[in-house]
Amino acid sequence: MGTPGMTWLMVLLGLCFLLIPGSSELVCYTAVESLDLGCLLQWDCPNASPNTTYTVQTKTQGDPWQDVPWCVWISSRSCDISQVFSNFELYNMIRLGVHLSPSSTEWLKPRKFDYSDFNFSPPSVSVSLKDDQMVVQVQFPCAANRRCSLERCCPISKLIDPWTTVTVYNALGGDEYQSRTVWTQEVMSYVEFSGLSLGQKYCAEANFSFPTFALAASPKSAPQCVETVFKSRLLPVLCMGIGLTSLLLFPLVVMFLRKSRRATPATENQPKALSSAQEPISLVPLSPAPVDLCEIHLELIDDHISTESCPGLTSNQNRTLLHYDPSSGAIYWNSGGMELDCGLDSGISIPPASRSSEVTCGASGD
């Protein structure tokens, strides 16, 4: 057994060892949460005092350690470093520094940030029919990164080239389905499917994964469905479309015609002049022809006649021009050797006869 003096010496040395700063090991627990290429570092240091401050540094393969500007000497227990990393094909490292004093910082063991930490939101799909093919469009979720604008969506396909798997199946039952996996190098992915049966309902769903690590995959999207119609149903739809188009275009055509009429010059509304002047009608004088007095006769109506006197003739002369035959009911002319000019519109004059028409007609009758 030792002396009492030695026992007290050992107790004092133990107390001094416990009171020496930094003699106890600092314990901190760190974790990384990543969603759609974001990165959130969280930590917990149970032995640290409430007033302890922290600094976060990052390092990309081939570069030195750099402070995260918004995570230097902070008292919070998390730091969002989504805006720091831009190349996910290289090694990216993170480390946490604990400030034990203004001049003393203890750096914890660095940890990597890679595809094993990645988690993704499901994409969204839209489907359409093109002839006899089904086209599936895949839209990827937005990512937060320094190469993308914070004011608008930046699809993760701008930062990585994911593998996209699209599956199409018959929603009405059966084992009919198709699946295709493509390497997407564009902002959106388009996948076409053919060989679909008519009159069926097909649904499409998709997911994607990190190009070099298939385990870092997104959940499947919500299914989007479309029905394939029979060709006989296409004709009514086509006719309806033509009819609706005609109804929409008819008012436009009417308005166009009205505007064109208003734009027509006023001179066009006036009657156009004749292309060529009308040729004057030449009046060819009629050659006098002998009139057969026997063919000229007047029939009496109601046993009376009305005669119009010729100017320049006396009443006796007017009465001698006409002779009434009671047996035949006709009146015969007798010019008496004079020229008749009674102002007839036809301008035909009866030539003088040497004998009375009554005698001439009598002679011809014999």
Q: Say what the pLDDT of residue 240 is.
A: 78
In the three-class reduction of DSSP (H, G, I as helix; E, B as strand; rest coil), residue 183 is classed as: strand
Task: Please say which residue of 227, 247, 266 terminates a domain.
Answer: 227
Residue 96 φ then ψ, to 5°: -110, 135
Range of the domain at 249: 233-258
Question: Quick check: is 288 in a domain?
Answer: no
Question: Could you report how far apart the first and last alpha carbons of the chain are, in Å?
Answer: 203
Residue % of the chain over a pLDDT of 70:
61
Task: Please say which residue of 98, 117, 136 terminates a domain.
Answer: 117
154-158, 314-318, 353-357: segment of lowest average pLDDT? 353-357
What average pLDDT score do residues 182-204 get?
A: 92
Closest to 83 measured CA to CA, from 143, 146, 38: 146
User: What does the radius of gyration of the chain's CA atoms come to, in whole angstroms?
Assistant: 60
352 and 333 in a common domain? yes
Question: Quick check: is 132 in a domain?
Answer: yes
Question: Quick check: is 279 in a domain?
Answer: no
105 and 141 in a common domain? no
Question: Quick check: is 353 in a domain?
Answer: yes
Q: Are 88 and 159 in contact (CB under 8 A)?
A: yes
In the three-class reduction of DSSP (H, G, I as helix; E, B as strand; rest coil), residue 282 is classed as: coil
| Vertex 277: Cα angle to 272 and 283 (nearest 5) | 140
Q: Say what the pLDDT of residue 235 is.
A: 56
Q: Say what the pLDDT of residue 122 is.
A: 97
175 and 156 in a common domain? yes
pLDDT band at 31 (very low <50, low <70, confident <90, very high): very high
217 and 140 in a common domain? yes
What average pLDDT score do residues 153-158 get?
A: 89
The answer, yes or no, to whether residue 276 has pLDDT greater than 50, is no
Task: Please say which residue of 117, 139, 174 terminates a domain.
Answer: 117
Distance CA 133, CA 193 (A): 6
Q: Say what the pLDDT of residue 231 is.
A: 56
Tokens of 155: 């699809």
Residue with tokens 């009919």: 176
Distance CA 95, CA 214 (A): 27
314 and 249 in a common domain? no
Question: Quick check: is 284 in a domain?
Answer: no
Q: What is the pLDDT of residues 75-88, one digit of tens each?
A: 999 999 998 988 88
Closest to 32 measured CA to CA, from 121, 150, 114, 88: 114
361 and 320 in a common domain? yes
Query: How many domains, the chain?
Result: 4
Question: Quick check: is 128 in a domain?
Answer: yes
How many CA atoms does the CB half-sphere of 110 hold within 13 Å? 12
Distance CA 6, CA 15 (A): 15
In the three-class reduction of DSSP (H, G, I as helix; E, B as strand; rest coil), residue 245 is classed as: helix
Q: Which of 100-114, 271-285, 323-337 has the highest mean pLDDT?
A: 100-114
Residue 243 φ then ψ, to 5°: -60, -45
Q: Are 224 and 125 in contact (CB under 8 A)?
A: yes
Question: What CATH number should be reported for the domain holding residue 63?
Answer: 2.60.40.10
298-299: strand order across its sheet: 298-299, 330-333, 322-325
